[in-house]
Amino acid sequence: MNVELRTDEPERRFAPGASLKTDNAQYPTLTIETMRWHSGRLLLHLEGVTDRSLVEELRGVVLSVDVDPDERPADPDEFYDHQLVGLDVVDSAGAVLGTVSEVVHGPQDLLVVKRPEGGEAMVPFVASLVPEVDVSAGRVVVDLPDGLLDLGTG
């Protein structure tokens, strides 16, 4: 099975024996039997997934690995999604603009900000717009252009 990664620690997260949660009701958990790299792609062999038709059934399935809530990435400028979700989003004066409800990964990581008056807005998770993340204080400080948070309200 070919895996699209969203981790900087694939050898650790996808080690043999690791249990993966899925978004597939038929296969709610899968266990890694082996992992290897081929042409820059991570390939997994999963316990019980023994033929091509089973692999096809798992195409597009989102795999996730439980991470200890107290675990922190080695790089102080990196964060796990679960550390960001629920943080207050504040401006430089400390006014609460909303709460991080989700982190969307793609070509550009985005913080989904749930606004107090309703609706959501997406903030690119880049240092120029998000100069400070203070997990222990429960906040993300943003420096946004006027109107950015108004785009998603409704």
Tokens of 48: 């019980």
Residues 72-102: pLDDT tens digits? 777 788 888 889 999 999 999 999 999 999 9
Q: Which of 44, 38, 52, 41 is nearest to 15 (CA)?
A: 44
Residues 123-134: pLDDT tens digits? 999 999 999 999
Whole-model pTM: value is 0.69
Q: What domains appear along the chain, each with residue ranges and CATH number?
A: 2-64 (no CATH), 81-150 (2.30.30.240)
Please compute, for residue 138, the number of CA atoms within 13 A of its CA located in the half-sphere on the CB side. 5
